[in-house]
C-alpha cells in the first residue's frame, strides 16, 4: 500500500520532544525522515530517564520511530558540506533548536533558499516575536505562558501543569499540519516557505475556551458553570475550574466503588440536558425531573455541587466500568478515569494500533503510542527508533559519497 507522504524527504534536525513528535508523524505518513545528530552523544533524550543502562531511553525511542539516524558535526566545514547536500536533496528541514542556533551554524533562511528554493524550513520555538523570543523553552514553561497552568487546578490551590504534553507534542502536531499545508502550496507556487509554530501559541490555541471564558467574565462578572458559582466571588481573570466541564454541559469527576484504595476509581460524569430525565431515573431521584429547582439546566446551575454529590452516592455503589455500562445504555456521556496501566493493557487500543508493541535490538519489546491519526489509504506501520548513526553510511552512500569518502569523514570525526 502506498503512503500519503511517499517521496517526501525530511531533514530532521530536531531534538527532545516537540520537534521529534512532528517528524515522527510525518514518518508515519510515509515520509523518509533523516534525523541528523551529533556524533557520540546524539539527541540528549537518548540518555535521559534511562531504565536500562547504556540503552536508548524510552523517552527517545517513543518519539523517534520511523526515522533514519545519521551523525554529523554540522559546525565542521566538511560536515556543513554534507548538510548542504542534504538540504539540496530534501523537501523539508525541521528544527527546534534554541533561537538563532541554525543561523549561527551558517544556515540562515537566505542561505537555505540559495541551496534549495523549494525547501520548506519548519521551526518550533518557545515564543513568537516579542519580549520572550530569545528564550529557551521546555514543556511546562509553555503550559505556564500559554494560559494552561493559570486555568488548571482547584481554586484554593496553586496553578497546575497537566501531564498531557500540550506544549511539546501539541506544538509538534501544529507544526506537522503547517508542513503539510506548505507542501501542498508548493505544488502551485514551486517555492518553499518558512513554517513556524511557537509553543506558547500552540498552548493558547489549545486553551481557546479559556479566552472565551475570560471575555464572558469581563462582560458578565460571573461564570455560572464554574465551581465558584454561586458561593465565591470571581476576580478579574478566569479562575481555576477544578474538574468542571469546559463546555456548556456541566460535568465533574465522581468517586466510584473502590476509590478508598484505588486512586483511579473515578468516573467523569456529564449532566447533559437531553438525558437529565434518564440520569434522575438511574440514580433513583425521579422527583428531580419535574421539580422546578432541578428541571432545567439554568435552575440546576446554582446547586451543581449538591447535584453531583447526589449522583456520586450512586456512582460509589458501582465500579467505574459498571457505571459506564449502565450509563451508556441511556446515552449519558461519561468516561472512566483510566490509569496508564489500564491503557497499556486495553485490547481495543492494541487492535486499532493506538498502543503498539515494538521490538528493539538492544531494549527488546516495549510499548509505544502509535499514530493517533488513522488514514484509510495510508496505513501506519510503526518501526523502531534508529540507533545513533545507524544509517550514516546508507544515507551518505545515497547522497553519492564513496566508501572512502565516508571512511575519511569518520576518521576526521565529522560523522
Ligand atoms: N553538530 C554540531 N552542533 C550541533 C549539532 C550538530 N549535529 N546539533 C546541534 N548542535 C548545536 C547547535 O548548533 C547549538 O549550538 P550553539 O548554541 O553554539 O548555537 C547547540 O548544539 C545546542 O542547541 P540548543 O538548541 O541550544 O540545545 P539546548 O540543549 O541548549 O536547549 C532547548 C534545548 C529545547 C531548550 C532549546 O533547543 C529550545 O529552546 N528549543 C526551542 C523550543 C523547543 O523546541 N523546546 C521544547 C523542547 S521539547
Residue 40's pLDDT is 87
Residue 247's pLDDT is 83
Q: Phi and psi for 290 in degrees, rounded to 5?
A: -110, -15
Residue 1's pLDDT is 81
- Give this prediction's pTM: 0.96
Neighbours of 408 (CB within 10 A): 14
Are the beta carbons of 143 and 161 closer than 8 angstroms? yes
Which residue has a Cα nearest atom 9 of ligand 1? 38
For residue 413 and ligand 1, the question of a CB distance below 6 A is answered with no
Are the beta carbons of 255 and 312 closer than 8 angstroms? yes
Spacing of C-alpha 25 from chain mean position: 11
Residue 248's pLDDT is 86
Q: Which residue, 36, 15, 12, 8, is CA-closest to 23?
A: 12
What Å distances lie between residue 404 and 69, 202, 389, 396, 399, CA to CA? 20, 46, 17, 11, 14
Residue 204's pLDDT is 98
First to last CA, the chain: 34
Is 12 among the residues known to form the active site? no
In the three-class reduction of DSSP (H, G, I as helix; E, B as strand; rest coil), residue 143 is classed as helix
Q: What is the mean pLDDT of each run of 10 residues along the chain (415 residues)?
A: 96 98 98 96 96 97 98 96 97 96 96 98 97 95 98 96 98 98 98 98 98 98 94 96 91 98 98 97 97 96 95 98 98 97 98 98 98 97 98 97 97 96
- Residue to substitute in 37, 101, 167, 172 for testing ligand 1 pocket (most ligand atoms within 8 angstroms of CB): 101
| C-alpha span between 226 and 302 (Å, rounded) | 10
Q: Which atom of ligand 1 is nearest to the CA of 104?
A: 19
Amino acid at each position: 500500500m502506498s503512503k500519503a507522504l511517499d517521496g517526501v524527504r525530511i531533514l530532521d534536525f530536531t531534538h527532545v520532544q516537540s520537534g521529534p513528535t512532528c517528524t515522527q508523524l510525518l514518518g508515519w505518513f510515509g515520509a523518509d525522515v533523516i534525523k541528523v545528530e551529533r556524533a557520540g552523544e546524539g539527541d540528549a533524550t537518548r540518555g535521559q530517564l534511562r531504565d536500562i543502562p547504556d540503552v536508548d531511553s524510552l523517552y527517545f525511542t517513543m518519539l523517534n520511530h520511523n526515522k533514519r539516524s545519521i551523525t554529523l558535526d554540522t559546525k565542521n566545514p566538511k560536515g556543513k558540506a554534507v548538510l548542504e547536500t542534504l538540504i539540496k536533496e530534501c523537501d523539508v528541514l525541521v528544527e527546534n533548536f534554541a533561537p538563532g542556533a541554525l543561523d549561527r551554524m551558517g544556515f540562515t533562511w537566505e542561505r537555505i533558499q540559495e541551496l534549495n528554493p523549494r525547501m520548506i524550513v519548519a521551526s518550533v520555538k518557545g515564543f513568537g516575536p516579542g519580549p520572550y523570543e530569545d528564550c529557551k523553552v521546555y514543556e511546562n514553561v509553555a503550559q505556564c505562558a500559554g494560559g494552561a497552568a493559570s486555568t488548571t487546578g482547584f481554586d484554593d490551590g496553586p496553578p497546575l501543569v497537566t501531564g498531557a504534553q500540550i506544549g511539546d507534542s501539541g506544538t509538534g502536531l501544529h507544526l506537522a499540519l503547517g508542513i503539510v499545508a506548505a507542501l501542498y502550496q508548493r505544488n502551485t507556487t514551486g517555492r518553499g516557505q518558512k513554517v513556524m509554530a511557537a509553543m506558547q501559541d500552540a498552548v493558547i490555541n489549545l486553551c481557546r475556551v479559556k479566552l472565551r471564558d475570560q471575555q464572558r467574565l469581563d462582560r458578565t462578572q460571573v461564570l455560572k458553570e464554574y465551581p465558584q458559582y454561586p458561593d465565591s466571588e470571581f476576580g478579574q481573570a478566569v479562575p481555576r475550574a477544578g474538574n468542571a466541564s469546559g463546555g456548556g454541559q456541566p460535568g465533574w469527576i465522581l468517586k466510584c466503588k473502590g476509590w478508598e484504595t484505588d486512586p483511579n476509581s473515578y468516573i467523569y460524569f456529564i449532566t447533559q440536558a437531553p438525558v437529565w430525565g434518564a440520569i434522575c431515573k438511574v440514580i433513583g431521584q425521579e422527583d428531580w425531573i419535574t421539580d422546578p429547582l432541578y428541571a432545567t439546566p439554568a435552575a440546576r446551575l446554582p446547586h451543581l455541587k449538591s447535584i453531583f454529590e447526589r449522583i456520586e452516592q450512586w456512582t460509589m455503589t458501582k465500579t467505574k466500568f459498571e457505571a459506564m455500562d449502565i450509563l451508556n445504555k441511556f446515552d449519558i456521556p461519561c468516561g472512566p478515569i483510566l490509569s496508564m496501566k489500564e491503557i497499556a493493557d486495553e485490547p481495543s487500543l492494541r487492535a486499532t494500533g493506538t498502543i503498539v508493541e515494538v521490538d528493539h535490538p538492544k531494549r527488546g519489546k516495549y510499548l509505544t503510542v502509535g499514530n493517533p491519526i488513522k488514514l484509510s489509504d495510508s496505513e501506519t506501520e510503526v518501526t523502531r527508533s534508529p540507533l545513533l548513526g545507524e544509517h550514516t553510511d546508507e544515507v551518505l552512500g545515497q547522497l553519492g559519497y564513496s566508501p572512502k569518502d565516508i571512511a575519511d569523514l569518520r576518521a576526521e570525526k565529522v560523522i
